[in-house]
């Protein structure tokens, strides 16, 4: 039986470990922290007793690899699947505006839904729809030198349309301002969301805390297949001989009884473990923060599961019954402020958008994720490394590797599946 060491227990590492153990490999997963999940996990908040996520995560119907992984580990029942696209937007005068697909065959369901989106005027909706109708015919290669902003201007998407729709979608998906994000990456995800059938544009949310929703199922699947998961064991370095990894040194021991290694750690971590990798010399990533604010209120007056806020620094509000979760994407500036200053910014938005008062708030918790996602700028697009490396038993995974996708769960899961497949296929 061939043995593979998987380094890192985020979505990418768990996926690689699940596929390999399912294919009869002996898998040992090494995770530096005391928990699985990497950048997507949950924990019990000590002051309120609620289970909260380090950051609300949303998935979409076009997360094909993620959906397959969730099915493989038997976690499908832990997620809420929309039957059709439905997003409720709020305006600063607390008006509710729906974006809802129509009960019509695809693609008319989406086109009618977009045409009925009352956050923009009829004449702007026509401009907006023109871009959607062009989407299947756009040669994305031609977008590689453009930012999302450049492209939207070129396509006559004025400020009103950008604020009411494109910015929310682009900043939500790419966690980067439209002036920095690559138009090519954005066009790839627009095609995935809107051109791949009925389900692709639907939203999928975890039913429980993230750890319960997928980490526990993944861990028990891997263990059932005789895999081993070691937490609180960081890989510190790897020894190379004859073009192969021959030894892994961790914070606890040295390991040399393996055939293959998959590293699924973030880019900033892999640089330390194996600085010899060639691609690193011309490659750098910069990061965007996400700010999450959990708020407990005396009374929950909201009906919907989540809301998008139009033209606000607060992008999304999720309703968890006992608390709300506020998501601020592209938050590099805001996270530098103190917790009190951040709370004031969030509060003044909520005061306008959902008319809450300070006296309604019981408590709040702010979570700052500085390196939440890498910035998908046009500069890094064609430089991301593939899973195969110059060392013939070392493969790399992680949302930042060359999946063509932005820094998302789907990119992480795809990278883990591809790295595992390289190993499985190499033996056939």
Q: Which residues are at the interface with ligand FAD (CB under 6 A)?
A: 7-13, 30-33, 38-40, 54-55, 57-59, 234-235, 264-266, 269, 273, 290, 292, 369, 372-373, 398-399, 407-410, 412
Q: Which residue number, 233 or 349, has a Cβ lying nearer to ligand FAD?
A: 233
Q: Work out how close the CB of 15 gets to ligand FAD at its nearest, in angstroms, rounded to a whole number.
A: 8
Closer Cβ to ligand FAD, 12 or 67, answer by number: 12
Shortest gap between Cβ of 250 and ligand FAD (angstroms)? 7
Would you mind telling me the total number of residues written for the chain in this entry? Answer: 428
Nearest approach in angstroms of CB 185 to ligand FAD is 13
CB 183 → ligand FAD: shortest distance, Å? 20
C-beta of residue 241 within 8 angstroms of C-beta of residue 392: no
**173/286 Cα distance (integer angstroms):** 17
CA distances from 234 to 6, 249, 273, 316, 398 (A): 12, 9, 10, 34, 16
Least Å distance, CB 207 to ligand FAD, is 15
169: Cβ contacts below 8 Å, ≥ 6 apart = none
| Sign for the pseudo-dihedral over CA of 191, 193, 196, 197 | negative
The C-alpha atoms of residue 293 and residue 281 are separated, in whole angstroms, by 37
Residue 141 Cβ, how far from ligand FAD at the closest point, in Å?
25
Report yes or no: 371 and 289 within 8 Å, Cβ to Cβ: yes
Nearer of residues 10 and 61 to ligand FAD, judged by Cβ:
10
Q: Which two tokens stand for residue 223?
A: 């263990």
Beta carbon nearer to ligand FAD, 128 or 391:
391
Q: Which is nearer to ligand FAD, 21 or 373 (CB)?
A: 373
- If the CB atoms of residues 107 and 172 are measured against ligand FAD, the closer one turns out to be 172
d(CA 21, CA 339): 43
Minimum Å gap between C-beta 69 and ligand FAD is: 11
- How many angstroms separate the most distant Cα atoms in the chain? 67
Nearer to ligand FAD, 291 or 310 (CB): 291
Q: Smallest distance, Å, CB 68 to ligand FAD? A: 15
Question: In this complex, which beta carbon is closest to ligand FAD, that of residue 120 or of residue 291?
Answer: 291
Provide the minimum distance between the beta carbon of 123 and ligand FAD in the complex, in angstroms, as a whole number. 33
Name the residue nearer to ligand FAD (CB basis): 11 or 25: 11
Considering beta carbons, is residue 101 or 407 the nearer one to ligand FAD?
Answer: 407
Q: Which is nearer to ligand FAD, 366 or 409 (CB)?
A: 409
- Least distance between ligand FAD and beta carbon 238 (Å): 10
Q: Is the dihedral of CA 399, 324, 332, 379 positive or negative?
A: positive
CB of 40 to ligand FAD, least distance (A): 4
């Amino acid at each position: 039986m061939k043995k593979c060491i998987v380094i890192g227990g985020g979505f990418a590492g768990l996926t690689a470990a699940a596929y390999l153990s399912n294919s009869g490999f002996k898998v040992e997963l090494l995770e530096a922290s005391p928990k699985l999940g990497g950048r997507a996990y949950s924990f019990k908040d000590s002051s309120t007793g609620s289970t909260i996520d380090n950051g609300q995560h949303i998935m979409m119907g076009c997360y094909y690899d993620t959906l397959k992984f969730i099915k493989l580990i038997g976690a499908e029942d832990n997620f809420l699947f929309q039957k059709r696209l439905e997003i409720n937007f709020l305006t600063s005068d607390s008006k509710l505006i729906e974006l809802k697909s129509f009960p019509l065959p695809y693609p008319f369901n989406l086109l009618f839904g977009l045409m009925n989106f009352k956050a923009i005027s009829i004449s702007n909706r026509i401009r907006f729809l023109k871009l959607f109708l062009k989407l299947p015919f756009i040669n994305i290669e031609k977008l590689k030198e453009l930012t999302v902003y450049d492209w939207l201007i070129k396509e006559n998407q004025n400020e009103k349309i950008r604020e009411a729709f494109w910015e929310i979608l682009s900043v939500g998906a790419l966690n980067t301002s439209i002036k920095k994000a690559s138009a090519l990456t954005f066009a790839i995800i627009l095609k995935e969301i809107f051109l791949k059938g009925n389900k692709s544009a639907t939203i999928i949310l975890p039913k429980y805390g993230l750890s319960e929703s997928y980490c526990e199922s993944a861990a028990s699947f891997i263990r059932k297949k005789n895999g081993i998961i070691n937490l609180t064991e960081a890989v510190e370095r790897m020894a190379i001989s004859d073009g192969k990894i021959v030894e892994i040194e961790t914070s606890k021991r040295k390991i040399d009884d393996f055939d293959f290694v998959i590293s699924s750690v973030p880019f900033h971590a892999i640089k330390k473990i194996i600085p010899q990798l060639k691609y690193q010399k011309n490659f750098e990533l910069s990061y965007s923060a996400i700010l999450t604010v959990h708020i407990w209120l005396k009374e929950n007056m909201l009906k919907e599961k989540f809301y998008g806020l139009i033209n606000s620094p607060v992008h999304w509000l999720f309703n968890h019954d006992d608390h709300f979760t506020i998501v601020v994407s592209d938050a590099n500036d805001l996270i530098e402020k103190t917790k009190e200053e951040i709370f004031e910014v969030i509060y003044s938005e909520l005061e306008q958008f959902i008319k809450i008062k300070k006296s309604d708030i019981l408590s709040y918790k702010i979570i700052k994720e500085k390196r939440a996602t890498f910035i998908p700028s046009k500069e890094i697009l064609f430089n991301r490394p593939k899973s195969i490396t110059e060392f013939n038993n070392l493969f790399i995974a992680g949302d930042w590797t060359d999946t063509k996708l932005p820094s998302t769960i789907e990119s992480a899961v795809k990278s883990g599946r591809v790295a595992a497949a390289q190993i499985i296929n190499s033996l056939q």
